[in-house]
Amino acid sequence: DSGVTQTPKHLITATGQRVTLRCSPRSGDLSVYWYQQSLDQGLQFLIQYYNGEERAKGNILERFSAQQFPDLHSELNLSSLELGDSALYFCASSVTSSVPYNEQFFGPGTRLTVL
């Protein structure tokens, strides 16, 4: 158990809908990362937050947004869902983004299925 929790574990929804994925980082970790994992794309970095502020952006679509709250949990919002958004979404956390060689700890993921 990495100490990172993600809810829900599974999510099934329809095209055009909006969903929210939640992540609680390990105790003491200030940095949260979101990744999308699909069969043919591997792990794609979406976005990173550090202590409530956005730090880095990857291949995140405009229909997706995220935030990190004062208690350090983070939410990833996916809107106007398309079939191609079906994937595993992972959250990872680390102590900080600036310490060299800091390890990222991954949560168990949320499996999103868009029908």
Partner 1 sequence: QQQVKQSPQSLIVQKGGISIINCAYENTAFDYFPWYQQFPGKGPALLIAIRPDVSEKKEGRFTISFNKSAKQFSLHIMDSQPGDSATYFCAARTTSGTYKYIFGTGTRLKVLA
- The residues of the shown chain that bind partner 1, judged by CB under 8 A, are 2, 4, 33, 35, 41-45, 48, 50, 55-56, 58, 90, 92, 97-98, 100-109
Q: 65: which residues sit within 8 A by CB, 6+ positions away?
A: 76, 77, 79
Q: Which is nearer to partner 1, 15 or 59 (CB)?
A: 59
Nearest approach in angstroms of CB 31 to partner 1 is 9
Nearest approach in angstroms of CB 2 to partner 1 is 7
Q: Report CA dihedral (84, 14, 4, 27) to the nearest 10 degrees.
A: 120
Q: Which is nearer to partner 1, 79 or 111 (CB)?
A: 111
Nearest approach in angstroms of CB 45 to partner 1 is 6
The single-letter DSSP state of residue 33 is E
Q: Which is nearer to partner 1, 52 or 79 (CB)?
A: 52
Q: Is 19 helix (H, G, I), strand (E, B) or coil?
A: strand
Q: Which is nearer to partner 1, 60 or 79 (CB)?
A: 60
Nearest approach in angstroms of CB 29 to partner 1 is 14
Tell me the C-alpha distance between 74 and 71, whole Å.
Answer: 9
C-alpha distance across the termini of the chain, in Å: 31
